[in-house]
């Protein structure tokens, strides 16, 4: 069951709702608790010239001999006409500040805050030529899924702001990209589990090419590792600021082509992990079609994969690697919801989690 809700008022509702559901939960682990808590704040910006992913995360260190240790990590990945650039960087606890109960993170000189209704991000990699300075203005109400079931432990929690407008500067290897009200996506996840547990997911969003199009959609399917059992499945559609429709479970059908997305050599971070998982083949479909139907409402979301990059995370349960496949795509969404015609094209990033 995809149990989804949202809260907020009529006036100042977007900022008030983000303050209510999108704050940092991470805190020191209590004595005797398993070292399995994870939390991350994820942002994706899509323009004609640039794709950008920024992710601030806090994770318990599950390794023996690291009692109570936190692993703060920053992922920055950018793709422009010259290809992909970026990396994963880890920080010491003594150079990290966590404002628990609000969105306020500092990883050395990298910062993420939500203040006066805006997300503000300043980030720059130490060893790779990527730096960003961004202001993101949310334009849709968040949605909040508080208890998504997991097979190997307590539930996962998720909030999503699917559409923001971004102003700022991104520098990639000396190339400067200026953003002015570009469209972006944000989500926030937290829960107790280990990489290597019996879980995988397929997730994505669609931002319209035409900013005057009022529709925004996101979809997610959480499964077991073999992808034979769906633990939860949902597709959400916003019209302007408001969440217009939620399709759940049996409302949805997903189809993938037999062909796989193949690239000569997928971009992989962190770079040393590419030695552990050097394979060229990737278990990512060349497209994804999600169809939803409930009552008189119909929606079809057809994605065609363009490129794939990978974030590689060592297993925390044994030998192996969890692979986050970040797939950029072109997408067509069409249907009828509440008597209104939906028909637009847009850009997507889909995430396919695979455990090897």
Cα–Cα dist 327/305, whole Å? 6
Instruction: Identify the burial level of 126 via C-beta atoms within 10 angstroms of its C-beta, where 0-12 means exposed, 13-18 middle and 19 or more buried.
Output: exposed
Query: What is the residue whose two structure tokens read 């396919």?
Result: 352
pLDDT, one tens digit per residue, over 205-259 is 999 999 999 999 999 988 888 777 778 889 999 999 999 999 998 999 998 876 6
pTM assigned to the model: 0.93
Taking Cα atoms as reference points, which of 178, 183, 238, 237 lies closest to residue 210?
183
**Residue 202 reports pLDDT greater than 60:** yes
Query: What is the residue whose two structure tokens read 């397929």?
Result: 202
Cα–Cα dist 120/105, whole Å? 11
pLDDT, one tens digit per residue, over 78-95 is 999 999 999 999 999 899
pLDDT, one tens digit per residue, over 27-74 is 766 566 778 899 999 999 999 999 999 999 999 988 776 666 889 999
Residue 120: count other Cβ atoms within 10 Å of its Cβ.
Answer: 16
Structure tokens at 285: 């479909």
pLDDT, one tens digit per residue, over 104-144 is 999 999 999 999 999 999 999 999 999 999 999 999 999 99
| Band of pLDDT at residue 8, cut at 50, 70 and 90 | very low
Secondary structure (DSSP) of 241-304: TEEEEEEEGGGEEEE--SSB---SS-EEESGGGGGTS--S----BSEEEEEEEETTEEEEEEEE
Q: What is the mean pLDDT of residues 191-210?
A: 90
Q: Which domains does the chain have, with CATH numbers?
A: 1-193 (2.40.370.10), 195-356 (2.40.370)
Q: What is the mean pLDDT of residues 158-174?
A: 97
Distances (CA, A) of 44 to 2, 27, 101, 202: 23, 26, 23, 16
196 or 247, which is more confident?
247
How does the average pLDDT of the chain come out, rounded?
Answer: 89
Q: Is 231 left (phi over 0), alpha (psi -120 to 50) or beta?
A: alpha
Q: State residue 263's pLDDT score.
A: 63
């Amino acid at each position: 069951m995809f149990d989804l809700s949202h809260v907020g008022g009529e006036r100042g509702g977007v900022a008030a709702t983000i303050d209510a559901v999108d704050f940092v939960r991470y805190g020191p682990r209590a004595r005797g608790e398993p070292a399995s808590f994870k939390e991350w704040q994820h942002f994706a910006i899509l323009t004609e010239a640039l794709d950008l992913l920024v992710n601030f995360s806090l994770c318990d260190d599950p390794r023996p001999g690291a009692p109570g240790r936190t692993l703060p990590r920053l992922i920055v990945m950018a793709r422009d006409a010259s290809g992909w650039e970026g990396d994963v960087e880890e920080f010491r606890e003594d150079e990290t500040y966590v404002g628990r109960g609000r969105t306020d993170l500092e990883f050395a000189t990298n910062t993420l805050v939500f203040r006066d209704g805006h997300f503000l991000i300043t980030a720059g990699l130490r060893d790779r030529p990527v730096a960003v300075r961004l202001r993101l203005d949310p334009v849709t109400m968040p949605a909040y899924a508080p208890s998504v079931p997991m097979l190997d432990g307590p539930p996962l929690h998720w909030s999503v702001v699917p559409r923001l407008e971004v102003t700022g500067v991104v520098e990639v290897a000396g190339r400067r990209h200026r953003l002015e009200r570009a469209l972006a996506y944000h989500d926030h996840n937290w829960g107790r589990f280990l990489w290597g547990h019996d879980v995988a997911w397929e997730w994505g969003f669609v931002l319209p090419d035409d900013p005057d199009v009022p529709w925004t959609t996101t979809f997610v399917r959480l499964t077991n590792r073999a992808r034979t059992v769906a633990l939860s499945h949902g597709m959400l559609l916003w019209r302007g600021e408001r969440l217009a429709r939620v399709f759940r479970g049996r409302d949805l059908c997903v189809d993938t082509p037999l062909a796989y997305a193949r690239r000569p050599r997928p971009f992989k971070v962190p770079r040393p992990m590419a030695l552990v998982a050097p394979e060229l083949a990737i278990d990512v479909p060349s497209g994804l079609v999600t169809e939803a139907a409930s009552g008189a409402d119909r929606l079809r979301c057809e994605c065609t994969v363009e490129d794939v990059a990978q974030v590689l995370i060592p297993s925390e349960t044994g030998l192996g690697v969890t692979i986050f496949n970040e797939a950029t795509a072109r997408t067509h969404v069409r249907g009828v919801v509440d008597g209104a015609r939906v028909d637009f094209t847009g850009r997507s990033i889909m995430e396919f989690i695979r455990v090897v």
